[in-house]
Every structure is written in C-alpha cells, then in structure tokens.
C-alpha cells in the first residue's frame, strides 16, 4: 500500500511513452506539478496530448514542454500567458482544442466517473460547436461533450499519506481533483508527507483509490503569474 517513490523520475518510470494523453492539474501557476513536469521533460517523450486549463508561461509549468517541442496537442480553456504557445499555434505547429472552462472541468469529472458524454449549452452558436451533436431540451439547444479519460494524470497536492490520500491547499485545489480522477494512472507531487491516519477522513479531497504513486517535493517554488501592485494613494 505504500505508494511513495523516491523521486519524480522514479514515479514516472514505466508510465510515460510517446503519444500518450495526459491530464495535468493547475490553474495559471497555482497547483502545478512542477517537479513532475521537469521529470517528464527529461524523459524525452514526444507527441503528447495534454489536457489542462492552461499551458503555463514561457519558462514554467507546461510552457517548458512547449519549448522542448514535446506537446503535439493542447486541450485547454485559456492560453493567453504563453508567447511560445501563440507562436506554435499560429505557425500550425501545435494542434489546439479550445474548451469552455466549466465544460473542460465537467469533461474531466465525467471521465473520472465513467460517464462517456453529457449535454451542455456552453458553446452553442460558436466555433466550439463545430462537428458536435446538438439536441434541444425544453426549448434550449445543447451540445454533446465527451468525457475525458487520460492515460496519465499529474497532480499537485499540499499533503498526502503513503496510501495516496490527498489534501489540496485552498485555490491550489482547482483542476487537480478532476485530473486525478480521470487518469488511468495518477501520480501526485506533494509538499507534505504525513503518516497514515494523520489526515482526518473528512478532510480528504482525493481518496487514495485514485492515486497510484506519490512523490514528496517539500520545497516548491512559489511564483506569481502576473504581479499587480497598487500605486501609492
């Protein structure tokens, strides 16, 4: 039952290969599994499809995998902070599937719950609707969206026990529980590792049944995506 691995590289061993689909937690630079992303970059695997709210920034998060040209396709809701993403997209070097943020969250949740698809009004009448089945319910048009199942999920948590029960800290929870649930295999990078029984069961955000491997990364870099300060009055 001990799911703890000695390093991010060891935690990914045997799970990464060319062409897989990954679900990656995070929102901006909050709750991003930075160490696992670095280990993924070092693995050299290419042709990746990455499902994540955004693609990090140029020098952090998933932006590092864009620079190393390891990502073939991004499924995201927001990509406005990454100039390399913009360059590759406009040059036709990167395939992009844009998805409304709530729809993306629900697609991941549905995949984790074993639900193959659902209908939503988000995106009706826009480019998002192209090629998708439409149905009317109670006089309103809805789109069929498919649930997402990933080959591998990479998530970041605040606290874990050796059985893989996870607790996220405040807004760093974001897409992480959804990503953890929709991965065929899930690896969690955690700041604090505590003994089994130290986490109150009522405080567990992601049960260990969803988590296959844990790596302890106790000193994460705390970055601010866009620093805004208020001028003197």
Domain limits, the chain: 4-123+141-216
194: closest CA among 203, 183, 186, 185?
203
101: closest CA among 71, 79, 127?
79
157: closest CA among 184, 200, 187, 201?
187
Starting at the edge strand found earlier in the chain, the sheet holding 134-137 runs 117-120, 140-146, 134-137
pLDDT of residue 81: 80
pLDDT of residue 233: 64
Q: Which two tokens stand for residue 17?
A: 């290969």
* Residues 23, 156: Cα–Cα separation, whole Å: 12
pLDDT single digits (tens) 174-232: 999 999 999 999 999 999 999 999 999 999 999 999 999 999 999 877 777 777 888 77
Q: How far apart are the two ends of the chain, measured CA to CA in Å?
A: 57
pLDDT of residue 227: 79
Three-class SS of 152-183: EEEEEEEEECCCCCEECCHHHHCCHHHHHHHE
Domain 4-123+141-216 has CATH 3.40.50.300: no
Neighbours of 27 (CB within 10 A): 20
* Residues 45, 108: Cα–Cα separation, whole Å: 23
Give, in order, the Cα–Cα distances in Å from 182 to each of 52, 160, 230. Answer: 12, 19, 40
Task: Going residue by residue through the chain, which has 233 residues, state the pLDDT in tens, using 9 for 90 and above.
Answer: 899 999 999 999 999 999 999 999 999 899 999 999 999 999 999 999 999 999 988 889 999 999 999 999 999 999 888 899 999 999 999 999 999 999 999 999 999 999 999 999 999 999 999 999 999 999 999 999 999 999 999 999 999 999 999 999 999 999 999 999 999 999 999 999 999 999 999 999 999 999 999 999 998 777 777 778 887 76
């Amino acid at each position: 039952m001990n799911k703890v691995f000695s390093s991010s590289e060891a935690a990914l061993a045997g799970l990464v290969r060319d062409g897989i689909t990954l679900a990656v937690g995070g929102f901006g630079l909050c709750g991003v599994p930075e160490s696992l992303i670095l280990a993924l970059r070092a693995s050299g695997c290419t042709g990746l499809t990455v499902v994540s709210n955004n693609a990090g920034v140029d020098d952090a998060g998933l932006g590092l995998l864009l620079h190393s040209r390891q990502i073939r396709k991004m499924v995201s809701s927001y990509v406005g902070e990454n100039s390399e993403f913009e360059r590759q997209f406009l040059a036709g070097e990167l395939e992009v599937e844009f998805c409304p943020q709530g729809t993306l969250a629900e697609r991941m949740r549905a995949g984790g719950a074993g639900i193959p698809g659902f209908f939503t009004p988000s995106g009706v009448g826009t480019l998002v609707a192209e090629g998708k089945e439409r149905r009317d319910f109670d006089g309103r048009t809805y789109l069929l969206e498919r649930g997402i199942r990933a080959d591998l999920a990479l998530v970041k948590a605040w606290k874990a026990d050796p059985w893989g029960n996870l607790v996220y800290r405040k807004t760093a929870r974001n897409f992480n529980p959804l990503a953890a649930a929709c991965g065929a295999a899930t690896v969690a990078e955690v700041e604090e590792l505590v003994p089994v029984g130290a986490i109150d069961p009522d405080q567990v955000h992601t049960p260990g049944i969803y988590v296959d491997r844990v790596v302890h990364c106790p000193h994460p870099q705390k970055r601010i995506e866009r620093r805004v300060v208020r001028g003197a009055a």
